[in-house]
Amino acid sequence: MKRQQKFRFVGKVMVLCLAFTQVLFYHSVQDDGTNQVFAATAERPLYKATWLWNTGSLLVNKVSTFQFLQQNEVNLLFLQVDPDVSANDYKSFIQEASARGMEVHALGGAPDWILPEQQMKLYKLINWVKTYNNSVTAAEQFRGIHLDVEPYVMKSWYADTDTMLGLWRDTVSGFVEEMEIETPGLIAGADMPVWLEKFNVPDGLGGRTTLSNWMIRKLDQVTLMAYRDHASDIISSIATEMEEAERNGKPAIVAVETLPSSDATISYFEKGKFQMMRDLSTVGESLGNRASFAGYAVHDYDGWIRLKE
């Protein structure tokens, strides 16, 4: 399917990437309350990520924001791009994040971004990041762009799933292509649900494959939304995607939910932070030897800070 109208922004971006070589750690909380430390090597650092959606308030209150992030050893931030927020505010925030060993990716997206009349927003995001990165130092730059597009929450998904799947694939293809043209060197990442293997799609090479494999192959990095509240369920939910990521040589971050939900089994809102960290440690131990395992993420900052112990 041909991609609908798209805006091309001419020019090449020279991106200076910071070396990210510090040793990071996984903490496993034991029954007696002590911490067992699982070290990641400098050659293969593991991410501990979160989403920062309410950019304006978080940047204004960045002292408390960084205090929480540092206490929880977060080293990857998906920071929403809000055009109403001053570029100088992003500049100072990312500079401080870099100094604290935190990588920052520009975050954007909405379910309807797959629709032709809304796709311009995607290309505006890429151009905004390009323009911003070209105006600041390496320590103040975004290291990637992280897409959060979940079309399956729209009613039209169920009305015409095949068309929506095509539009979703077009959007991801357009995202990756535009990133390669406009922001070479930046990571093209995205959130991905853990049930896409049930869809069979053209692989672009004359055959067919799972939608999850297609997405993983296209993107530089995926964050698997393994929204379950038990370690074994998290691990089983991503079995196919981890194998596909390994075959494609792509990193996969495993994410959990903290926000309240009508389905209590998909969020740690009721179980709390202690149980969430224990389960994430179990996930890390189980997947730690897999080349595709890149760490874990907690959705989102606002939910995490309110999570009971």
Work out whether strand 221-225 and strand 208-210 pair parallel, antiparallel, or are unpaired: unpaired
Q: Which of 227, 232, 237, 231 is nearest to 196 (CA)?
A: 237
Q: Which amino acid is at 96?
A: E
SS3 27: strand
pLDDT digits (tens, 9 = 90+) for 188-217: 999 999 999 999 999 989 999 999 999 999
SS3 150: coil
pLDDT digits (tens, 9 = 90+) for 91-131: 999 999 999 999 999 999 999 999 999 999 999 999 999 99
| Ranges under pLDDT 50 in the chain | 1-39
Task: Please tell me the distance from the alpha carbon of residue 22 to that of residue 80, in angstroms, as a whole number.
Answer: 25
The architecture of the domain spanning 25-306 is Alpha-Beta Barrel (3.20)
Q: What is the pTM of this model?
A: 0.86
Tokens 């971050």, residue located: 253
Pull the structure tokens for residue 246: 């390994």
